[in-house]
Amino acid sequence: DADVTQTPRNRITKTGKRIMLECSQTKGHDRMYWYRQDPGLGLRLIYYSFDVKDINKGEISDGYSVSRQAQAKFSLSLESAIPNQTALYFCATSDPGRTGELFFGEGSRLTVL
Amino acid sequence: RKEVEQDPGPFNVPEGATVAFNCTYSNSASQSFFWYRQDCRKEPKLLMSVYSSGNEDGRFTAQLNRASQYISLLIRDSKLSDSATYLCVVNAGYNFNKFYFGSGTKLNVKP
């Protein structure tokens, strides 16, 4: 089983719908991240959390919100999805004690029509 | 200016070739450096960390030049299975809290 699990893996939705992407991890890391990846743009940080009470905006947080329900769970919500949020979304964890390597989930492909 | 810049490629090379990628970063306070490999539509996976003294893992060699702020990855004896996108990742900021990604360099290894 994957150490970082994302659900759903694929989702097609319509403009204006609310969508939640969920992430859970068994690595015991405090730090969790949500990234989106678009062709030619690399990965861009949406939100990150260093513990349950710590939530921070990344470079592209507009239109997104997050919830850190527990150390192991970090969910990303699109309150009202729009087509330019069509992308591949990755959750990741890191342990700063190990030079900060990132561990990624398998990704959630979201299409907004 | 992007924090991390890479040549997007693609680099098309025959099996057995040696190929090198470079990556430049803008933040001189960067602390950790990585090369990740990403297969099409899959998650990035760590290929290797990059240390100041340079490091090697089998056919892969990574170098760091702090003075010029660039990182390199050398792949020797390319295999078909090396075909992927290689992401340069830099960690800066206090307490390793900022990761910056290059947009990736695509490698195609041909028979």
- Nearest Cα to Cα of residue A35 among A1, A76, A5, A94: A76
Residue A99 pLDDT > 80: no
Three-state SS at A69: strand
E-state strands within B1-111: 4-6, 11-14, 19-25, 32-38, 45-50, 55-57, 60-65, 70-75, 84-92, 98-101, 105-110
Residue A20 above 80 pLDDT?
yes
Task: Provide the strand spans (E) within chain A.
Answer: 4-7, 10-13, 19-25, 31-38, 42-51, 54-57, 65-70, 73-78, 87-94, 102-104, 108-112
- Check B103 against A88: CB less than 8 A apart: no
Q: How many CB atoms lie within 10 A of CB A12?
A: 11
Least CB–CB distance from B101: residue in A43, A106, A107: A43
Report the greatest alpha carbon distance in chain B. 45
Q: Is A49 on the interface with B (CB under 8 A)?
A: no
> B61-90, pLDDT tens digit by residue?
999 999 999 999 999 999 999 999 999 999
pLDDT in tens, A25-61: 999 999 999 999 998 778 999 999 998 999 999 989 9
**Is A100 close to B96, i.e. CB distance below 8 A?**
yes
C-alpha distance across the termini of chain B, in Å: 37
